[in-house]
Amino acid sequence: MNLYKHILMAIDTITHSEETMDITREFATSEGARVSLLYTLPHLEAKGMGYLLPSIQEIESRIVETARSRLAAAADEHELGDADESVMLGNCHDNILETALSKNVDLIVVNNDHQQATLISDAPCDILAVRCQ
């Protein structure tokens, strides 16, 4: 097709992203496109815990480590093992845009349960929202 050269799949859940991963793989295969996977999670501080306790950073480190393992396993399972994988904590929308811009992607694939309103307005490229069961 030659429509897309670099596809970014951005998810905030592994469990409910099966279809999104499959579609990403199919598009990448058809296009011969490079794939980046982004798993984005909120900071613990967003839930009001703050950084008063030194263990919060330790907890977040462990969360990121676990998230990386889960993402890697899911990527292998869905034949996306060659993709660049990253986990980011923070604002989901900002993380997606930052990654899309820095990696110069031309298609962002998300679950269709996202807050796409501002993503559509702000994204530098096409967005494919996948309806997941």
Partner 1 sequence: MKVYQKIILAVELDPSCDTLTTKKAKALADEFGAELYLVHAIEHMSSYGAAYGVAAGADIEEMLLENASDSMKKLGSELNLADNHQVIKVGPARTIILEEADRIGADLIVVGSHGRHGIRLLLGSTANAVLHGAACDVLAVRLKED
- Closest contact distance (angstroms) between CB of 27 and partner 1 is 8
Which of residues 3, 53, 59, 73 is near partner 1 by CB under 8 A?
3
Angle at 33 between CA 79 and CA 126, to 5 degrees: 110
- CA dist 107 and 85 (Å) reads 16
Query: Binding to partner 1 by residue 123, rule CB under 8 A?
Result: yes
CB 37 within 8 A of CB 54: no
**Cβ nearer to partner 1, comparing 58 with 122:** 122
**Cβ nearer to partner 1, comparing 19 with 45:** 19
Proportion of the chain in helix, strand, coil states, percent, rounded to 5: 45, 25, 35
Which of residues 26, 65, 77, 82 is near partner 1 by CB under 8 A?
26
Contact residues for partner 1, defined by CB under 8 A: 1-3, 22-23, 26, 30, 112, 116-117, 120-121, 123-131
